Structure 1
Amino acid sequence: MDHKLPRERQIKKLFRRIEESTASLISVSSSPLALCDFCQRLRFQPLREGQHYRHGKPDEVTIRAQSGCPLCTLIAENFDLGPSNIPIRLSGIRKKLSPQEKASLVEEGDIEALGVLNGYDRELENPFAHKLALYTNHDDIAAPFIKRRPPIQDFASESTYRLIKSWLDTCILHHPGCSNSSVISKLPTRVVDVGLPGTRQDPTLFTPPQGYKDSYIALSYCWGNAGSRFVLTKEMADLPRLRFPFDSLPRTLQDAVTITRKLGFRFLWIDALCIIQEGDQGADFLRESATMSAVYGNAALTIAAAGASNVNEGIFRNINTEPDRAAQIPYDLPDGNTGIAFVTFEPVDQGDSRINEPLNTRGWTFQERILSRRVVLFYKDQLSWDCTSTLINSNGPLNPHIRYNQDSPGRYSDYVVSRALTNNSGKTRLKEDSDYWRNLVEFYSRRQLTDTSDKLKAISGLAQLIKSETNDSYLAGLWLSDLRNQLFWHTRDPKEKRQEEYRAPTWSWASVDGQIRFWSQGSINYILGDGYNEPTAIVDYQPDTDEFGIVLRGRLSFKGHLCPFNLELFEERQLTLYEFEKSPSFYGLFFDTSSDKEEFFLKKAKHAHFFFHPEQQAVRRTSELYEVTLAMVLKKVDGTYRRVGIYMKRDGGTLFAPRWAKWLDEWVDVSPETITIE
């Protein structure tokens, strides 16, 4: 392809590749099971006017279900029918989206669900919690009114490709928030050339000349165990023309090549084949991993193999073979015509299953999803489309009340838009971005890494994105402008110990494994006040890398009150060691690892641990029995200190407060000093 073509001609050429007809999208057959008399009399116009349809008493619904009525069967099997003497009522539910909804470009449609109310129900805060979803075929006259479509039966079918193309076409041409993102961009250092559309040649490795621009697709997937590795080596990368035999590729990579060709693209970026993984002591990996923000951010589309736990499982391995149990009913339209609707049960917690899909549990794929402008996700049971403007499933617009997208805080660009719409707090740009970063870390820390030394590398692309917007200083996973808040984190599920291989100083969340939580900014501000002395930090990195590279050492200089912890003081306060050791978090003490906890409670460790409170109102007391306390728990090692935990307690009148009241006074009385924490 001629990279010197004007941008307009390149885009037209791309659209000629992906041009398609959506006339034969996924459909289901119209061979209904017999409805009972009650269900046949159901009409939607009264529901549009806010009326309820009395569907009979619970015993009647059960009998009609046993007689084979498909709609009554759905109701009887999936809902509490309530008191036997009160009729079941059906209501119409429309999708209503607030201006801040992510799916704001999805128009409010006609009735898209039936609410099922029993005798216990009055006004439901969330009507979608008791509902039957409606969908119809794309060619039915009800299609303009019912936005949802039938579930996909075969992910590798031509109708699937047509659906993805229609999403991509709509996004590029009609989404205001997406159309400004060019589909033509500078190619990464290496890409896989899958060949021109319609060809069957083996993919080859392509190293574009400097400045070469074109459109490309990126792949996000799980590698799996080491035995399934198919990777680029230094020796392979040095070949003048490297060919990847299609039949030798792992199945997920084969499927990605096929999808790329079917969508009309020529270039595909796959980390295993485009980054040297062996033979150069990690130099290329270190260099290329620092470019992930551009690689995924510039891709015209990212394919996410969400349902595959390893590279051999494939994207197309799961075909939806479950029989469709939807009930077919007449759907009377506002203009007097009648279409066909299919009714199916959709649990309100279905979004939770998405969180547990293999791709959503891995560390590296976290930033790949957030950095990508457009993502098509191949889940185990359906497709999803996620772009800046909308989030949609293959069967139609998402139910806004279902808990989707709880595996990340969303794209940074979405956050910026949301902030502009809703921010009335007067926060500065830096403070807003710091809030977003803390949220990112909390989500990211839930995920797993095969190589735990990648803890900071696997999120460096997101850090670079924040850096480009704020020009803040990045310090081993923390930001200088928000250091006072980001230093006070704790682990919700402490692991046995820190990794032996150094990856971050102990004051950084990146030094431990497990889920991270930050204390609320409001609580920290209340405790520390405005006169707080900001700490200073110095981080040393591996030569020839920047602040997003490998951390060699980090030192935090902090001024505050340092008070040794004495277990005997506990016993004097009549709080048994067993009582405290059994549940230290109940008393506000959170250890970074389980080994830190064990060492803390050993008698031989007496006087080895310290509570360190930042200078300026380390303890605030509003009454004799009310303390608000914040401290790092430190261990002294070779003249410096290392963090082993965090202590924060806001307590009023519990057994804990009076027993430590004297010691809390001693903390404030200790003269402040500047210490170094590593």
Structure 2
Amino acid sequence: MAPVLCSKCSTLRFYDLFNDDLVFHPDISSLVQSARKCEACNLWWTQLQRSSTKEDIAACLAKKLPSAAPKSSNNGDFKIYLRGECHPANTASVTDQIWLSCGVLVSAVGHDAPTKLQTNLAVFADPATPAGALFAGRYSTAAHHPEYHATFAKNTLAACRKGHDVCNKARPPGARQMPTRVIDVGDPTLPAAKRVTRIVLTKDLKQPQPYTALSYCWGTGTQAMLNDKNFADFTNVLPEAKLSKAHTEALDLTRLLGIRYVWIDALCIIQGNQKDWESESKRMASVYGNAELTIIAGRSADSGRGFLTNNYLATKKLPNPVPLKVGPHPHTGEGPDLGTVYLAIQRNKAVGPVDMRGWCFQEALLSNRALVFGEDQVFYQCRHHTRYEDGCVDLDVSKREQSLTSVNPGTKAEVLRRWYQMLISFTPRALTEPHDIFACVVSVALVTHGVLKARYLAGLWECDMPRGLLWKSRWSYVSSRHFQPIQKPLAAPFTKRKGEIPGKPVVRAPSWSWAHVTGQVFWDTNPRIESKWIDPKNVFVRPRDSKGLWTTQPGVGNPDALYMPALELQLFGKVVEVRCTNVLKKKTPLTPEGTMMESIKPAPSAKLPPSAKPAPAPSGPAKPSYIALGYFDFPSDPKPANIWCLLVVAHEGLLLTRDGKGKFHRVGWFAVQDAKQFETVKETAVDLV
């Protein structure tokens, strides 16, 4: 059914909007009135409400100057203007779009002519139409070209294979390795009715073959899974009717791409077989790094619901796109009428629920090429660029190429910096099984170890222990308004581990490891101040072992370790017993609340020479001398019975508590307030667990 349009919208042409500003409505009130019947005006009114404050809209409705508008705004003009923007080069970082401005010509909006209200709508065209040759944006939803994702995937993958040297060199065909097992989606030369889907052992294939890999959320919908009992049956026939919807969609998409094999964890790792799970978990760098394409089911939180269909309009209760006539070529004004394009509310570039799952983080990072079924749209990302369904192309590959999985990971200093940056992004993600924390980054740890050649100790690198130890809750370092406090890991609902109770706190790492907590942790990775972590004059902790080992515990340090619940560090350092005072450093928008710490046994005064006279005693009550400003990892917990400050570097250290066996446990971190109190403290042995 054709949309209902007002007389203005039914005659608009993009050509007229591209070449000049056009008066759309005399004021906001006129737009609102028209939006009650016209679907195009309703689209504009919806977008305006999404991008502007209620106060500013109310001011313009009353023809008053909004609070956001500078006094230099044209107070008497409240007309609604439109102007189009088109990027025929197909390499723009923004969509083809139409801008709306209140009170100022769109072409004049800027520092000298600020608008009262401004917003925009995206423009897209159908494929294989005259307009489609000019406008890069496409649109694929349940109601509009629902199968376009396959065409988009084929075209972007083919272009990448043909023209992206950096992507091809990252995984040269001669070096391709396949996973232990893959799913054969059927011989493409046979009729569909005669094709057999089954699990195959790749060692039985004559040579490595291209395959896709699926990255997705299991949720509660994962049905048939590979196990020891059905292994033989699944190698004969894989019953597609019993698979999760996400699994069958991945199989179908793989067939559409002309690829015969696909890897899906639930069907290619023997579930319930701990030995196989541990072996395969360490192979993720190879599994995703060597895949021809990773299919990321970003928009789906449950494999039972699938991911191919895009229902974001209904989910977000947004109006449908509306048609707009194009007219002749907007840049030249020549040629025939290009037909019709569509106006739509701008789509976001968010991945969706998958972006908050711990396992999926490593999978995306390790992939060379990925087709992402995002929250609002599909996009293709590789080492060369990211291309979105809405026509945007992000050519900034610096983040990708400066990652730990780039072709050239960099120097040791750069790799360490990238390791911390990776953890800052990884730690906010959720894990159903808390003990998977190290398994989720094991492949990245193996890549990092290839450069550092250092021991891996519960998520920290022995060659950079002072900095590694000083992780902080992002909440305690920046602002509680934008970040959540870290928490204690909780046992999985289905846990069968001895001594664990579902939903209750568990220990999965030593207290000094970032993996001891759940939630976003932070390190300062500014390269300009890295010297403070490595300058011997600035570092106040050192290993007790004569060979420079931070722990002499046997059998530790392997980067492929999947479980490290306990590990003791033996070191020398300056520790001072302190007490919490009632004095709090009040939080600001940029700094949360901290607790001032006062030493229980102040450092002794330096001895004066015989000839020197002691300074006169100050009059009045003595002012307290605070040694540190402390931030507890779990501020809502009761304060420990004893608290110690371990100076790590000149300006920061760890808050510790001591157990009955003399072992120290981390409980937080502190910023030095009075460095002189540490000067006369003698170095002592510290056992940190």
TM-score by length of 2: 0.73
Question: How far is the alpha carbon of 1:393 from its aligned partner?
Answer: 2.9
2:683 equivalent in structure 1: 672
**Aligned positions of 1:338-349 closer than 5 A:** 338-347=337-346
Distance change >3 Å, CA 116–CA 243, structure 1 → 2: same
Residues 379-419 of structure 1 deviation map (CA, whole Å, 9 limit, x = unaligned): 4543222222222233432589xxx99xxx95456688899
1:284 equivalent in structure 2: 276
Greater mean deviation of Cα atoms: 212-221 or 500-509: 500-509
The one of 413, 421, 427 equivalent to 1:431 is: 413
1:102 equivalent in structure 2: none
Query: Does 1:566 pair with 2:579?
Result: yes
Contact persistence 2:381–2:387 (CA under 8 A): yes
Residues 483-513 of structure 1 deviation map (CA, whole Å, 9 limit, x = unaligned): 3323211223122578765432221101111
1:393 equivalent in structure 2: 388
1:531 equivalent in structure 2: 537
The one of 293, 308, 313 equivalent to 2:300 is: 308
1:101 equivalent in structure 2: none
Query: Does 1:325 pair with 2:321?
Result: yes
Give the gaps of 5 or more residues in structure 2.
Answer: 64-75, 476-484, 492-504, 544-549, 597-628
Query: Does 1:613 pair with 2:647?
Result: yes
Residues 404-440 of structure 1 deviation map (CA, whole Å, 9 limit, x = unaligned): 99xxx954566888999xxxxxxx7222222222121
Contact persistence 2:95–2:392 (CA under 8 A): no
Measured on the aligned residues, the alpha-carbon RMSD in Å equals 4.1
Residues 281-301 of structure 1 deviation map (CA, whole Å, 9 limit, x = unaligned): x11111110010010000001
Query: Does 1:647 pair with 2:647?
Result: no
2:639 equivalent in structure 1: 599
In 2, Cα distance between equivalents of 1:552 and 1:111: 49
**Aligned positions of 1:249-648 closer than 5 A:** 249-278=243-272, 280=273, 282-316=274-308, 319=311, 324-333=320-329, 334-335=331-332, 336-337=334-335, 338-347=337-346, 350-351=348-349, 354=350, 357-379=352-374, 381-397=376-392, 411=400, 429-491=411-473, 492=475, 493-496=485-488, 502-519=507-524, 521=526, 525=531, 531-533=537-539, 535-536=542-543, 537-538=550-551, 547-551=560-564, 553-567=566-580, 570=581, 575=583, 584-585=593-594, 588-594=629-635, 597-600=637-640, 605=641, 608-614=642-648, 618=650, 629-637=651-659, 638-648=661-671
Residues 542-581 of structure 1 deviation map (CA, whole Å, 9 limit, x = unaligned): 79965443326433344332110124xx25xxx38999xx
1:131 equivalent in structure 2: 120
Greater mean deviation of Cα atoms: 529-538 or 410-419: 410-419
Report the secondary structure of 2:253's partner residue.
helix
In 1, Cα distance between equivalents of 2:323 and 2:32: 17
Greater mean deviation of Cα atoms: 264-273 or 132-141: 132-141
Report the residue type matching 1:506 in the other structure: S
Report the secondary structure of 2:271's partner residue.
strand
Which has the larger share of helix?
1
2:603 equivalent in structure 1: none
In 1, Cα distance between equivalents of 2:630 and 2:470: 12
Question: How far is the alpha carbon of 1:610 from its aligned partner?
Answer: 0.2
Distance change >3 Å, CA 553–CA 64, structure 1 → 2: closer
In 2, Cα distance between equivalents of 1:526 and 1:591: 23
In 1, Cα distance between equivalents of 2:456 and 2:510: 13
Contact persistence 1:370–1:410 (CA under 8 A): no
Contact persistence 1:541–1:552 (CA under 8 A): no
Contact persistence 2:436–2:562 (CA under 8 A): no
1:78 equivalent in structure 2: 47
Query: Does 1:112 pair with 2:102?
Result: no
In 2, Cα distance between equivalents of 1:124 and 1:95: 24
Distance change >3 Å, CA 90–CA 495, structure 1 → 2: same
Question: How far is the alpha carbon of 1:153 from its aligned partner?
Answer: 3.0
Distance change >3 Å, CA 346–CA 90, structure 1 → 2: same
Give the gaps of 5 or more residues in structure 1.
Answer: 1-28, 97-104, 421-427, 619-628, 650-656
Contact persistence 1:540–1:553 (CA under 8 A): no
In 1, Cα distance between equivalents of 2:584 and 2:28: 59
In 2, Cα distance between equivalents of 1:644 and 1:376: 42
Residues 424-479 of structure 1 deviation map (CA, whole Å, 9 limit, x = unaligned): xxxx7222222222121111111111110001111111222223344444332223
Percent of aligned positions with the same letter in both sequences? 21
Report the residue type matching 1:339 in the other structure: L
Report the residue type matching 2:182 in the other structure: V
**Aligned positions of 1:47-126 closer than 5 A:** 47=18, 52-59=21-28, 61-62=30-31, 65-66=34-35, 68=37, 70-79=39-48, 83=60, 84=63, 85-86=76-77, 87-93=79-85, 107-108=91-92, 112-119=96-103, 122-123=109-110
Question: Would you say how many aligned residue pairs link Structure 1 and Structure 2?
Answer: 581
2:192 equivalent in structure 1: 199
Report the secondary structure of 2:192's partner residue.
coil
1:16 equivalent in structure 2: none
Highest CA radius of gyration, 1 or 2? 2
Question: How far is the alpha carbon of 1:151 from its aligned partner?
Answer: 3.1
Report the residue type matching 1:346 in the other structure: I
In 2, Cα distance between equivalents of 1:159 and 1:610: 62
1:247 equivalent in structure 2: 241
Report the secondary structure of 2:259's partner residue.
coil
Distance change >3 Å, CA 548–CA 385, structure 1 → 2: same
Contact persistence 1:535–1:556 (CA under 8 A): no
Distance change >3 Å, CA 566–CA 392, structure 1 → 2: same
2:157 equivalent in structure 1: 168
Greater mean deviation of Cα atoms: 250-259 or 32-41: 32-41
Report the residue type matching 2:295 in the other structure: I
Distance change >3 Å, CA 56–CA 541, structure 1 → 2: farther
Report the secondary structure of 1:610's partner residue.
strand
